[in-house]
Amino acid sequence: MCSVKVFVGLDYHQDQVQLCVLDESGTVLCNRGISNSAAVIRAAAERYGCVQAAALEACCGSANLAQELSDLGWSVSLAHPGFVARMKQNPDKTDFADARLLADLLRVGYLPKVWLAPERLRRLRRLVRYRQQLVDQRRDTKLRIRALLRENRLRPPSDVSPWTKRWVAWVRHVAALVEEDRWIMDQHLEMLAGYGEKIAFVESQLRQWVADDAVIKKLMSLPGVGLVTAVTLRAEVGRFDRFLNGKQLARYCGVTPRNASSGKRQADAGLIRAGNPQVRRVLIELAHRLVNRLDDRWSALAWKLLREGKKKNVAVAAVANRWTRWLHHQMQPGALVA
């Protein structure tokens, strides 16, 4: 057995990795760039002693390297890049300093860790986020169509709801546009139809790929939760039991209020800015469904807040917060279907 215990910080890049090795007293034993290969990194670091733990910032591709090093027997942690940058207290940025900071934070136990999701969940995240990219692009196309109609001072018939087949047919065949704008409008409508088909295809693929997932089956058995909400929660949250309580889960999902108190003034300032935007989006949409037409329990909570003078968006956010806390208890391992 080796007598020297060392801690490893890795500053990740696509082509190479900056490797920093510290001993227990914080002395730098090595800080140099090497090939981005798990086997090469392991061989280089273990020349200096027994690796107690390694750390690298969470970024594109770093999770795969962390998984490869874990498979080789290392204890590897992903660090939150935003918190690491704040803890640096130095405007300069170099690979040498970044790798050393990661190793030092790991050595003293102050590394701000993030969860390393399994490979299957990382693949699901990419699918869910790809679908969201398509949805965002479809929304942008709709905004351009609306802008083009306003530019030409055109209004659809009052008895036609926006984005229905009748509304699109009016835009395509009846709206009086000049030749150039008509060509642009036809391009937008073609893109809009294409996005709808792509989103439907992605959702059909998601339904097939998660058909045997017990967590998603449990989520979809809850009132108001559909496929998109379930797969987003599964992909972004992963394991619900990694949170100690419902409040931690709600803060991760970004649906808890942000405190803005100072002295005698006690106030909230909307939802916390930190949090997972993908999950917050689907939870707010879910809260609207629960409030409007599905569950008496959550409707009662919303109407109670409305009677107290709260705005509707505040009431909806409160329902999302309470529902997420309730969800934490529903999704513990003993409650999942086999």
Of the three residues 79, 114, 149, the one that is the final residue of a domain is 114
pLDDT of residue 264: 66
Q: Classify residue 250 by burial, with Cβ atoms within 10 Å: 0-12, 13-18, 19+.
A: buried
Shared domain for 231 and 164, answered yes or no, is no
Shared domain for 145 and 202, answered yes or no, is yes
Shared domain for 230 and 329, answered yes or no, is yes
- Run means of pLDDT, 10 residues per run, the chain, 338 residues: 85 93 93 94 93 92 92 92 81 88 93 90 94 96 95 89 92 88 94 95 94 93 93 94 92 83 65 82 94 81 91 91 94 63
Closest CA to 112 of 70, 84, 75, 86: 84
pLDDT of residue 266: 62
Shared domain for 315 and 218, answered yes or no, is yes
Shared domain for 106 and 29, answered yes or no, is yes
Chain position carrying tokens 């405190």: 259
Shared domain for 241 and 131, answered yes or no, is no
Shared domain for 100 and 128, answered yes or no, is no
Shared domain for 67 and 153, answered yes or no, is no
Of the three residues 185, 209, 233, the one that is the final residue of a domain is 209
pLDDT of residue 338: 34
pLDDT tens digits for range 64-82: 999 999 999 999 999 998 8
Closest CA to 222 of 67, 147, 327, 301: 327
Of the three residues 190, 209, 228, the one that is the final residue of a domain is 209
pLDDT of residue 258: 76
| Whether 171 contacts 127, CB under 8 Å | no
Q: Classify residue 277 by burial, with Cβ atoms within 10 Å: 0-12, 13-18, 19+.
A: exposed
What is the distance between the alpha carbons of residues 157 and 288, in angstroms, rounded to a whole number? 28
Q: What total number of domains does the chain contain?
A: 3
Supply the range of the domain harboring residue 26: 5-114
Q: Is 333 helix (H, G, I), strand (E, B) or coil?
A: helix
pLDDT of residue 164: 92
Shared domain for 49 and 139, answered yes or no, is no
**Which pTM value belongs to this model?**
0.85
Shared domain for 38 and 135, answered yes or no, is no
pLDDT of residue 285: 94
CATH of the domain at 46: 3.30.420.140
Shared domain for 321 and 237, answered yes or no, is yes
218: CB partners within 8 A, 6+ apart: 330, 331, 335, 336, 337
Shared domain for 11 and 110, answered yes or no, is yes
In this structure, what token pair is assigned to residue 285? 């949409």
